[in-house]
Amino acid sequence: MIPPGPKGDFLIGNLRQFRNQRLDLLLSNMQTYGDVAYMRFGPRSLYQLNNPDDIQYVLVKAAEKFYKSPSLKRATEQAIGEGLLTSEGDFHKRQRKLVQPAFHHNRIAKYGNVMVDYTAQMMDRWESGQQRDMHHEMMRLTMQIVAKTLFDADISSKTDSIGQAISIGIETTAERITQPLSLPEWIPTRRNIERRQAAEVVTNTILNIINARRESSQDTGDLLSMLLMGEDDIGEGMTDKQIYDEVVTLFIAGHETTANALAWTLYLLAQHPEVEAKLVDEIQMVLGGRTPTVGDLGQLRYTDKVIKEAMRLYPPAWIITRQAIENVLLGGYEIPAGSVVLMSPYVMHHHPHYWHEPEKFMPERFAPGWEDCIPKYAYFPFGGGPRICVGNQFAIMEANLVLATIMQRCSVALMPGKKVETEPLITLRPKHGIPMTIKKRENSHLALA
Ligand code: HEM
Q: What are phi and psi of 320, to 5 degrees?
A: -130, 130
pLDDT at 117 over 90: yes
| pLDDT classification of 185: cutoffs 50, 70, 90 | confident
- Assess whether pLDDT exceeds 90 at residue 230: no
Q: How confident is the model at residue 229 (pLDDT cuts 50, 70, 90)?
A: confident
Asked if pLDDT for residue 32 goes beyond 80, the answer is yes
Please state, rounded to an integer, the average pLDDT across all residues of the chain: 92
Average pLDDT of the segment spanning 72-89? 84
More confident residue, 26 or 182: 26
CB 155 within 8 A of CB 412: no
Q: How far is the CA of 381 from the centre of ligand 1 (A)?
A: 9
Q: Which residues contact 328 (CB under 8 A, 6 or more apart)?
A: 62, 65, 334, 335
Mean pLDDT confidence for 207-232: 86
Out of 57, 224, 258, 389, give the residue to mutate to test ligand 1, the one with the largest number of ligand atoms within 8 Å of its CB.
Answer: 389
Check if the beta carbon of residue 319 is closer than 8 Å to that of residue 30.
no
Q: What is the pLDDT of residue 79?
A: 77
* Res 293: pLDDT: 97
Q: What is the mean pLDDT of residues 116-142?
A: 96
Measured CA to CA, the distance from residue 24 to residue 20 in angstroms comes to 9
- 391 CA → ligand 1 middle, Å: 6
d(CA 254, CA 244): 15
Q: Are strands 328-330 and 333-335 parallel, antiparallel or unpaired?
A: antiparallel
32 vs 20, 38, 52, 310, CA distance in Å?
A: 19, 12, 17, 26
Distance CA 351, CA 31 (A): 8
pLDDT in tens, 296-325: 999 999 999 999 999 999 999 999 999 999
> Which of the two residues, 178 and 325, has the higher pLDDT score?
325
**CB-based burial label for 104 (10 Å; 0-12, 13-18, 19+):** exposed
Q: Is the Cβ atom of 258 under 6 angstroms away from ligand 1?
A: yes
Please name which of 99, 143, 90 lies closest in space to residue 118, comparing C-alpha atoms. Answer: 143
Q: What is the pLDDT of residue 444?
A: 55
pLDDT at position 181 is: 65
pTM of the model: 0.94
Give the pLDDT band (50/70/90) at residue 443: low
Of 153-162, 273-282, 422-431, 438-447, the poorest mean pLDDT is in 438-447
389 C-beta closer than 6 A to ligand 1:
yes
Has residue 64 got a pLDDT over 90? yes
pLDDT at 449 exceeding the cut of 60: no
Tens digit of pLDDT for each residue in 232-269?
667 778 888 999 999 999 999 999 999 999 999 999 99
Contacts of 445 (CB under 8 A, 6+ apart): none
3 lines ligand 1 (CB under 6 A): no
Nearest CA to ligand 1 atom 29: 254
- Cα of 103 to ligand 1 centre, how many Å? 12
Q: pLDDT at residue 277 above 90?
A: yes
How far apart CA 58 and CA 324 sit, in angstroms, is 9
Instruction: Judge if the beta carbon of residue 80 lies within 6 A of ligand 1.
Output: no
- Residue from 58, 91, 74, 112 nearest 321 by CA: 58
- Judge contact between 155 and 58, C-beta under 8 A: no
pLDDT digit string, tens, across residues 410-439: 999 999 888 999 999 889 999 999 999 999
Residue 136 has a pLDDT of 95
Determine how many CB atoms are found less than 10 A away from the CB of residue 8.
18
Residue 446 has pLDDT above 60, yes or no: no
SS3 annotation, the chain: CCCCCCCCECCCECHHHHHHCHHHHHHHHHHHHCCEEEEEECCEEEEEECCHHHHHHHHHHCHHHEEECHHHHHHHHHHHCCCCCCCCHHHHHHHHHHHHHHHCHHHHHCCHHHHHHHHHHHHHHCCCCCEEEHHHHHHHHHHHHHHHHHHCCCCHHHHHHHHHHHHHHHHHHHHHHHCCCCCCCCCCCHHHHHHHHHHHHHHHHHHHHHHHHHHHCCCCCCHHHHHHHCCCCCCCCCCHHHHHHHHHHHHHHHHHHHHHHHHHHHHHHHHCHHHHHHHHHHHHHHHCCCCCCHHHHHHCHHHHHHHHHHHHHCCCCCCEEEEECCCEEECCEEECCCCEEEECHHHHHCCCCCCCCCCCCCHHHHCCCHHHHCCHHHCCCCCCHHHCCCCHHHHHHHHHHHHHHHHHHEEEEECCCCCCCEEECCCEEECCCCEEEEEECCCHHHHHC
What's the pLDDT at 192? 85
* β partners of residue 46: 39, 340
Rounded mean pLDDT, 389-403: 97
Averaged pLDDT for residues 61-70: 93
pLDDT of residue 135: 96
